Amino acid sequence: MSTREDILEKIRKCMALASSGSEHEAAAALRQAQKLMELHQVSQAEMLAVGVRESKAKSGAAARPANWESELAAYVAAAFGCKLIFMPAWDDAWWVFIGLSPADEIAAYSFDVLLRQALKARREFIEVALKRTKKRTNKTRRADLFSEGWVRTACAQVGAVLVQEGAAEAIQAHMQLKHPSLGTLATTDRNAGRNWSDKDHDAYAQGRSAGRGAQLHRGVGANKPHLLEG
């Protein structure tokens, strides 16, 4: 734990004592908390954000993720009470899940597991259902429709966890401190403004059906929940 985190943890413990115990102990704990905050220039926002962590999961795209991947990340973040940001790098990009620990870690883990399943189902769909589709753009578009259907069925099975009390306020304080100005993510939608053909509708329907097989098992760490069943 870093020195700054040590200080914040001491202040947090003092604040906890200030709301319990005898009147004398509570007053002494509050004075100690205020003294530490003044000495180390700790703001109310920084104290409120104690416990908020960030965990990353690799994106399938380097710059502009497809709509279906963005939708998957957003579903998972919401299920665990996390904020979500997209972080492009030189040759990779990451989804960052921000929440009260351990929600951030579990959300990133869950997204990674589901994304790998979604990509596997997409590859199988392309190899089998689209093997006679010659035009590359049509193949990619229909694969996107399949993936959208897969995500919507799979995520409909994700049960929202019980979010810790005060999580929203803590995350908001963290965002103000660490990410005060964020741009708007531009995603890739290859089917925007198009009228769907029968083959397009069929691709989406096959994705909806395949999404029922999504599974999210316990993985690394005992706190990983079993959220989905095929």
Query: Cα angle at 229 between 156 and 53, to 5 degrees?
Result: 70
Query: What are the extents of the domains in the chain?
Result: 3-42, 55-213
**Tally of CA atoms within 13 A in the half-sphere of 221 that contains its CB:** 9
pTM of the model: 0.81
What pLDDT, on the 0 to 100 scale, is given for residue 229? 35
What pLDDT, on the 0 to 100 scale, is given for residue 11? 79
What pLDDT, on the 0 to 100 scale, is given for residue 3? 83
Ranges of residues in the chain whose predicted pLDDT is under 50: 1, 218-230
What pLDDT, on the 0 to 100 scale, is given for residue 163? 75
d(CA 10, CA 4): 10
Helices within the chain (DSSP H only): 3-18, 23-39, 44-48, 67-79, 103-128, 136-156, 167-178, 198-210
What pLDDT, on the 0 to 100 scale, is given for residue 230? 28
Contact criterion met (CB below 8 Å) for 117 and 68 = no
**Nearest residue to 177 via CA among 71, 74, 83, 70:** 83
What pLDDT, on the 0 to 100 scale, is given for residue 92? 87
